[in-house]
Amino acid sequence: MTLHTRSVAELAAGLAHKEFSAVELAEHFLARIDAANGALNAFVTVTAERALAQARRADAARAAGRAGPLTGVPIAHKDLFCTDGVRTSCGSRMLDNFVAPYDATVVERLDAAGTVSLGKTNMDEFAMGSSNETSYYGPVRNPWDPRCVPGGSSGGSAAAVAARLAPAATGTDTGGSIRQPAALVGVSGIKPTYGRVSRYGLVAFASSLDQAGVLAPAAADCALLLAAMAGFDPRDSTSVDRPVPDYVAELGAPLRGVRIGVLEEFLGPGLEAATGALVTAAIAELGRQGAEVVAVSCPNLPLSVPTYYVVAPAECSSNLSRFDGVRFGHRCREPRDLTDLYTRSRGEGFGPEVKRRIMTGTYVLSAGYFDAYYLKAQKVRTLISDDFKRAFGRVDLLVGPTSPTPAFAIGAKVDDPITMYLNDIYTIGANLAGLPAMSVPCGFVGQLPVGLQLIAPHFGESRLLAAAHAYQLATDFHRRLPAAYA
């Protein structure tokens, strides 16, 4: 078994048994990035010297008997996690020249766990997109078919893991931006409960929705990484002070007796037939493993997309007001006055999708429209959250598709924002309610992967990961690699 075909857990075991060193592992993945990134465009910054220095420290820690489960394991970070001394661009011209002066908590904790950071991955600009086509650095390509998108906004992280340019990568999920790309490239991705993982040092898009998570080949890998990332952070006012379970130890929890609700709203019109058939087959496999499968309805879930596209742009409009060309980021040349500085710096720095959302958000927050749009959207958000609470009064987990279709062609939807937004129709609800959710591979339509989505009650990550792990013990979809990167 070559190094890049191993999961995070298998690489950790290999390091523990001294089959290879952390330096050898880092060099292997850096060589793969050098050979393949030109075609995929998954990385925007490769930190080779930093990675090798971290790998040498990891080998020294292991030799001294101070190694943890992740010591020496290479990872990549989505390029909106501030990383001390490394460019943090958010996929935008606005921050193309911004070098972060500190580490995000997620970066800090994974560094402390001994991981080796290979670099920063490409993404939709300021995490706004469902296809990774809005990046200032160009689109990321799907490793299974380079003519197709990898999903977004964490498309660079997803593509890097799918092509095994990195064993795992961090991501963020505001409306499905971990789960949807995980589904489209055939890897596992988890969005934890809102507040479970610190948002400190994560460049904000929509503060009440953004949540950091991870993408990796298997649910067991996600458990390893989430254990290192999760926990209270006093620097983040949205962080929840609650003990973190041992996700790895709880992976073996059986499915027998677990009640799984199939979301009726997710299996109706809009779901491509071939994708639906694979999801139905995956649900049947959960039933064969002893889970009790029942139908569940959340009648307000179809309102998720319009609700999200009022709430998220409103928060984006507020968060992105700080990028004005004065303190950091892009600054226009020779401004005539302060108004010209603001106008041209923001006009030049932001791309079309970011401008679209800022304008929408400013409109719904403006006098005369706040009650009609923003306030109403927040009320519907409460109805959606209440639907989930009622559902979890009956079942332990909810299940359905992650995306209505497999990956689509680059450019196919970029000029139709509404059609593009509908790609997140199955993922947004979990963000609006702050629930943990994950996607795991469940088959292929032609050569393109399809994802199964699992949703748990608040702080139900252990049950979520255990169910996904049980499914993956019975299937091999998560082990399959694109032929060009095997």
Burial class (CB in 10 A: 0-12, 13-18, 19+), 213: buried
Question: What is residue 396's three-state secondary structure?
Answer: coil
Contact indicator for 112, 119 with CB cutoff of 8 Å: no
Tokens of 151: 């999903």
Q: How far is Cα 330 from Cα 410, in angstroms, rounded to an integer?
A: 28
Rounded to the nearest 10 degrees, what angle do helices 48-63 and 22-40 cross at? Answer: 160
What does the alpha-carbon distance between residue 323 and residue 22 come to, in Å, rounded to a whole number? 39
How many Cβ atoms are within 10 Å of 247's Cβ, its own excluded? 25
The H or E element spanning position 442 is strand 437-445
Is the previous residue joined to 208 through a cis bond, with omega within 30 degrees of 0?
A: no
What are the structure tokens assigned to 330, written together? Answer: 């892009």
Residues identified as active-site? 78, 153, 177
Q: Which 3-state string (H, E, C) describes 66-129?
A: CCCCCCCCEEEEECCECECCEECCCCCHHHCCCECCCCCHHHHHHHHCCCEEEEEECCCHHHCC
Beta-strand relationship, 74-78 and 116-121: parallel
